[in-house]
Amino acid sequence: MAALKFSLIPMFAIMIGALLAAWRTPGEKQVAVVQHLAAGVVFAAAATEILPQVMHGGSPMATVIGGALGVAVMLGLKAAESRWQGPVALLAAIGLDLAIDGLVLGLAFIAGERAGILLAVALTLEVLFLALTLTIDLAGRYPKAKAIGLTCALALLVPMGALIAQPVALLPPYGSPGS
């Protein structure tokens, strides 16, 4: 359950980001710079640690299931895009992003603890500034307490995503009998 334990770190970072945004709003340029840095860190962690392990030792069944689910989610988002507007769409998109972040974190821990820890650190930086941005946007539409509460509620999706990934560990590895 290392994935669940480490998923609590980004979850708390989201909560801290929400509180920071309510206390002191950083400038747009500051937030943009750090968000791009965080995205680069996440990409680097995935490219250097996770993808090589998937390419050389992953389960074909997990790859097929993951690919099919990814396509289904993208098609669902495309269909929902025309129906939802404003804060509901924003909360739904960020909620889905956070659940997927948790799922990817859980999968990273299945690939290896080092990969999982590296991704947990990278995601923590990313979601901290995602929470800042979301809370700032919501505080422009709602009272600050509600903006903080909505952002913190979404934070729970990270550990939930990590838990959803755990059944993948039960799939047989590539090359084993029955795969």
Nearest residue to 15 via CA among 135, 105, 117, 139: 135
**Would residue 76 count as lying in a domain?**
yes
pLDDT of amino acid 178: 53
Q: Distance between CA 120 and CA 7 in Å, rounded? A: 7
pLDDT of amino acid 25: 73
**Would residue 33 count as lying in a domain?**
no
pLDDT of amino acid 49: 63
pLDDT of amino acid 52: 66
Number of domains in the chain: 1
Q: Which domain holds residue 150?
A: 2-23+38-168
pLDDT of amino acid 55: 59
Nearest residue to 98 via CA among 63, 65, 126, 138: 126
Tell me the pTM: 0.77
**Would residue 32 count as lying in a domain?**
no
pLDDT of amino acid 70: 74
Q: What is the 3-state secondary structure (H, E, C) of 32-99?
A: HHHHHHHHHHHHHHHHHHHHHHHHHHCCHHHHHHHHHHHHHHHHHHHHHHCCCCHHHHHHHHHHHHHH
Q: Name the phi and psi angles at 30, rounded to 5.
A: -60, -45
Task: Give 10-residue mean pLDDT values along the chain (179 residues).
Answer: 92 95 78 74 69 61 71 76 78 89 87 85 88 90 95 97 84 59
pLDDT of amino acid 40: 79
